[in-house]
Amino acid sequence: MEKQTTPEIYFHVGMGKAASTFLQYNVFPKFRDIHYIQRTKYRRSIRIISRSKYQKYLVSGELDNRLYENYIHEFSSFFPGTRTIIILRHHDSWIASQYRRYVKNGNPWRFHDFFDIHNDHGYWKQKDLYYFPLIKILEQHFKYKPYVLFYDDLRDNPEEFIRKIATYIGASYDINKINLSHRHSSYNEKQLRVIYQLSKKIDIRRKRKGTNKTIRAIRGLIPNIIRYSTLYLAYLIPGSNLGNEVRIPSETLEEIRKYYASDWDQCVKYAADFNPL
């Protein structure tokens, strides 16, 4: 694939559990004056942009920050003039939400098995929770500084948050046509405790192995049916004997916030220093 002179490109570098799904399905499709490439197609976005003739593009992906740099390097090698947007959520809130997602997906972990703030023995490593290095990766790979926004601002004032993004990318929209309700709300603790107890007994994680698409789909469908049926039936199960394994102590979350305070402050300062609007 040959490199080419590019049109105006904006890339929302979405992080899981930072309102990416809400933006990708409720907001970005409603923007006018820009061609939107949503997350189900973002891995083909280089090919799509190279083969089409729109004047302006908005690409949105959801990148696990441990796979982040590889894709950023690839995309920037074709489109170094891309302007990027990244949305950050407080470290403690973000890792707690990620943990709930992993439990919901059938991983029988207690929180310290997932993220260990003391000894770093968890599945998610301490180095992978730093945000400022992600900003620097964007800055190093693209000609323009990233536009850094914050999840709390979206939660507190979604209309103003949407206006900021639309103004930055030069898109028009009708706010009355945007559904401001969040997608993929977190499951409650009782539901997670039920799914946790089940996942300790049987493997209900989605299986992705295999070369045959049909077989892979079936292998993924059955665990999904079990998990989501369990989550919705959890309301009928008495909660007194379910244990407290998925509960995240408030003092642990406070430790996490303090541990990453300087990283968060760096991000906030960066955003204040580079405000393109």
Indicate if 39 and 61 belong to the same structural domain.
yes
Residues of the chain with pLDDT under 70: 1-6, 64-67, 183-187, 206-220, 222, 224, 227-228, 231-232, 234-236, 238-244
Q: What CATH number does residue 19 fall under?
A: 3.40.50.300
Print the domain residue range for 66: 8-90+130-184+261-273
Q: Helix H segments across the chain?
A: 20-22, 45-51, 68-78, 91-104, 111-114, 132-141, 151-156, 158-169, 189-201, 213-233, 250-259, 261-273
- Which one, of 185, 186, 145, 179, lies nearest residue 162 by Cα? 179
Note the pLDDT tens digit of each residue in 82-93: 999 999 999 999
Residue 132 to residue 152: CA distance in whole angstroms: 17
Q: Is residue 51 part of a domain?
A: yes
pLDDT for the residue 145: 96
- This prediction has a pTM of 0.84
pLDDT for the residue 247: 82
Indicate if 171 and 222 belong to the same structural domain.
no
Bridging pattern class, strands 56-62 and 8-14: parallel
Q: How many domains does the chain have?
A: 2
Q: Is residue 147 part of a domain?
A: yes
Indicate if 204 and 153 belong to the same structural domain.
no
Note the pLDDT tens digit of each residue in 143-171: 999 999 999 999 999 999 999 999 999 99
